[in-house]
């Protein structure tokens, strides 16, 4: 069904909605824009034209003209949604705003169409409960800006049709996104919970006077972020001990458990949890291949170090 | 005083010690290697030669030969430390191992020399208390590998001489590192506390069945890590609201406070903490310059998106 998605409606054309319009139009789909504020569509068109021109310079899209030509502004919500195979809701992040617009979408959503909400933390069950199309509603939460950072979270509500998850994932991959699945609802989903964990610890360290905001920022931008730009936390620790993640946990679970406890948090480094994480990692990468993958990591780090050097000091090589 | 550092001793030549040897020798200093295991120095020399050859290919160093020529293996600890202006201790991460080797270093450390420990989480007060040179001891904790990721944490013990912090920082900058200061001791320091916060939330989400380890990894490697590779958490949120960090906090502190509470953690988004963070950010970047810095961020994101595209799909441009 989602392989037949030809037309996408964007409801709410702020920064997120405009970014989504670029993603879908750049992938060859017809895009219909609607915003409750008539000036919203005008501003979105300007932003889209500007971004596409910049992207074309870097080879991120071809000629912007046919991409822009696939985008149509609509005066009514029904005019946008009524012709859509997929709707991307991107209005303000409040339960009230989302409930109201979803009721309007529900009134004109074609029977085959799927609704994805850009909600960054409010679960769909908070605003889709009363919709007749609620089995076809999901959270489809991007990272801002969606046309430059590909990750997107799919989060079903308790009443979302599980059979739609696989085709939704395929559709998002087809338009160049990298979807992940959050199996069931939780406030903040996965992305903002991970971001929030780092940010909350950063604010705690700052507030308690351990370091300046500038130095905490450097710890990420010149330290941890280098690895995280190409490896997630599980792969990072899997490659950080000779026998992989189980070996790492045996050495360092006590430290991380103590750090969690120092903030009042219950740690989740039980033998069972570590065992299941190990099983998943070993299915993805055998112990025999760990060395090869570590060499890949080192090559990536060296390449990033070389880029950093060129950017900060283009003419010099330390002798 | 630290401008006069010409000779560095490395005590403990595992991966961290070897990486430090590359940093210091590549910066033109004489490096004296010691390891309790005589084979340790041999293995370190092989690793150093291999890494320097790879680095030379990418322009991260010049001809490896003179760099290697600045590195001398020593059979005794005193032979390494006795001639040093600065000592980088990099032995195993246990209080026992560090206490023992620091006592040995204390016995032959020149009167002017500073001792930096690579400890990644154990505070210096746990193993330098009884040293006669303890006012000259600091944690100097790198990110692994130190020759490819520049960030380093300076953490004084309660008895460390505060007057040595500025010259130590200058010395580390001179050898190409990016030092941050942790004002006083805390388990895990700043770097591993930030890493631990992310990892503990990742393990909790995995253990509770919200997402696979692979999908959590993608959330970082294809989502959050993109921004964190060039911006820390404070700058990220400062650029994510029209009026900067105070504006962002007014909108989103309730969400992050709820996320903290959901894990039993006390949030640190008080008006006082946000006010101080705002004061620091505004001193570094005026509100008038926020737009320019946001444009810089967007250009970085676009450049990274273009790189990602070239790496994953070198021949194609989506039309």
With residue A240 as reference, give the H or E element that holds it.
Answer: none
Dump pLDDT digits (tens) for B69-120.
Answer: 999 999 999 999 999 999 999 999 999 999 999 999 999 999 999 999 999 9
pLDDT tops 90 at residue B316: no
Interface test with A, best of B153, B215, B264 (most A CBs within 10 A): B215
- Write out chain A residues lying below 8 Å of B186, CB-based: 205, 210
pLDDT of residue A313: 54
Model pLDDT for residues A257-303, shown as the tens digit of each residue: 999 999 999 999 999 999 999 999 999 999 999 999 999 999 999 99
Output the pLDDT for position A190.
98
Give the nearest partner residue to B220 out of A55, A153, A228, using CB atoms.
Answer: A228
DSSP state, A189? T
C-alpha torsion A21→A24→A25→A29, nearest 10: -130
CB A306 to CB B60 under 8 A? yes
pLDDT number for residue A310? 81
Place of tokens 């520049």: B150
B302 and A58 in contact by Cβ < 8 A? yes
Interface test with A, best of B93, B224, B262 (most A CBs within 10 A): B224
Whether B149 sits inside 8 A of A222 (CB atoms) is yes
CA distances from A317 to A238, A257, B22, B62 (A): 33, 43, 15, 7
Asked whether the whole model's pTM tops 0.80, one would answer: yes
- What pLDDT does A314 receive? 44
* CA separation for the pair A194, B210 (Å, rounded): 12
Does residue B314 register a pLDDT over 80?
no
Report the Cα–Cα distance between both ends of chain A, in Å, rounded: 60
Residue identified by tokens 């209080």 is: B95
Q: Which of B187, B202, B256 sits opposite A199 (nearest CB)?
A: B256
User: What integer pLDDT is reported at residue B308 of this predicted model?
Assistant: 84
- B244: region left, alpha or beta (phi > 0 left; psi from -120 to 50 alpha): left
CA distance B65 to B52: 9
Instruction: Name the CA radius of gyration of chain B, rounded.
Output: 22
pLDDT in tens, B237-291: 999 888 999 999 998 999 999 999 999 999 999 999 999 999 999 999 999 999 9
CA distance B10 to chain A (A): 21
The token duo for A86 is: 């997929």
Q: Residue A161 burial (CB < 10 Å; 0-12/13-18/19+)? A: middle
- % of chain B exceeding 70 in pLDDT: 97
* Dihedral, CA of residue A179, residue A47, residue B313 and residue A57, to nearest 10: -170
Q: In chain A, what residues touch B275 (CB-CB under 8 Å)?
A: none
* Intervals of chain A under pLDDT 70: 1-3, 313-319
What is the C-alpha separation between B297 and A144, in angstroms, rounded? 12
- CB nearest to B221's CB, from A230, A266, A268: A230
Question: Phi and psi at residue A84, in whole multiples of 5°?
Answer: -90, 145
pLDDT at A144: 87
User: How would you classify residue A244: left for phi > 0, otherwise alpha for psi between -120 and 50, otherwise beta?
Assistant: left
Q: B86 to chain A, minimum CA–CA distance in Å?
A: 21
Model pLDDT, residue A2: 52
Question: A–B: how many Cβ contacts below 8 A?
Answer: 393
Q: What is the CA radius of gyration of chain A?
A: 22
Distance CA A104, CA A131 (A): 10
A114/A157 Cα distance (integer angstroms): 13
Q: How high is the pLDDT of residue B144? A: 87
Residue A309's pLDDT is 82
User: Nearest residue on chain B to A199, judged by CA atoms?
Assistant: B233
Q: Do B187 and A258 touch (CB under 8 A)?
A: yes
Is A201:A263 a contact under the CB 8 Å cutoff? yes
Q: How far apart are CA B199 and CA A198, in angstroms?
A: 9
Residues on chain B touching A181 (C-beta within 8 angstroms): 211-212, 215
Using CA atoms, how far apart are residues B310 and B230, in angstroms rounded to an integer? 19
Q: Is a pLDDT exceeding 90 seen at residue B206?
A: yes
**Distance, CA of B210 to CA of A123 (rounded, Å):** 13
pLDDT band for B1, please (50, 70, 90 cuts).
low
Asked whether the beta carbons of A123 and A159 are under 8 A apart, the reply is no
The confidence score (pLDDT) of residue B2 equals 53
Residue with tokens 């997402």: B211
pLDDT score of A3: 58
Q: Are strands B137-142 and B151-156 parallel, antiparallel or unpaired?
A: antiparallel
Of the candidates B151, B219, B306, which has its C-beta nearest A222's C-beta? Answer: B151
Task: Among B221, B259, B304, select the one facing A232 at the smallest CB separation.
Answer: B221
CB A134 within 8 A of CB A108: no
Q: Cα separation of A213 and A205, whole Å?
A: 9
Closest to B216 in 3D by CA, of A195, A113, A253: A195
User: How far apart are the C-alpha atoms of A52 and B135, rounded to whole Å?
Assistant: 58
A155: alpha, beta or left, given left = phi > 0 and alpha = psi -120 to 50?
beta
Task: Find tokens 């430290």 and name the residue.
Answer: A255
């Amino acid at each position: 069904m989602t392989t037949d998605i030809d037309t996408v409606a964007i409801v709410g054309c702020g920064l997120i909605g405009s970014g989504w319009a670029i993603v879908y139009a750049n992938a060859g789909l017809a895009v219909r824009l609607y915003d409750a504020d008539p000036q919203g569509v005008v501003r979105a068109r300007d932003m889209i034209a500007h971004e596409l021109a910049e992207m074309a310079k870097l080879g991120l899209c071809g000629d912007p003209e046919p991409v822009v030509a696939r985008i149509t502004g609509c005066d009514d919500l029904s005019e946008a949604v009524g012709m859509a195979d997929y709707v991307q809701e991107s209005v303000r992040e409040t339960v009230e705003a989302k409930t109201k617009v979803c009721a309007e979408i529900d009134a004109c959503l074609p029977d085959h169409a799927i609704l994805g909400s850009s909600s960054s933390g409010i679960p769909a069950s908070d605003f889709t409960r009363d919709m007749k199309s609620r089995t076809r509603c999901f959270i489809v939460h991007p990272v801002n800006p969606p046309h430059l950072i590909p990750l997107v979270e799919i989060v079903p509500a308790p009443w979302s049709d599980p059979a739609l998850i696989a085709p939704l994932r395929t559709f998002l991959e087809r338009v160049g996104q990298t979807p992940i699945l959050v199996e069931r609802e939780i406030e903040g989903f996965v992305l903002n919970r991970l971001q929030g964990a780092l940010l909350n610890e950063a604010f705690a360290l700052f507030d308690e006077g351990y370091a300046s905001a500038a130095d905490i920022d450097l710890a990420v931008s010149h330290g941890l972020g280098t690895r995280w730009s190409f490896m997630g936390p599980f792969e990072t620790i899997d490659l950080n001990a000779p026998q992989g993640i189980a070996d790492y946990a045996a050495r360092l679970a006590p430290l991380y458990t103590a750090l969690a406890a120092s903030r009042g948090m219950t740690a989740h480094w039980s033998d069972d949890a570590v065992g299941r994480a190990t099983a998943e990692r070993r299915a993805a990468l055998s112990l025999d291949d760990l060395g090869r993958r570590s060499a890949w990591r080192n090559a990536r780090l060296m390449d990033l170090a070389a880029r950093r050097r060129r950017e900060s000091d283009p003419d010099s090589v330390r002798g």
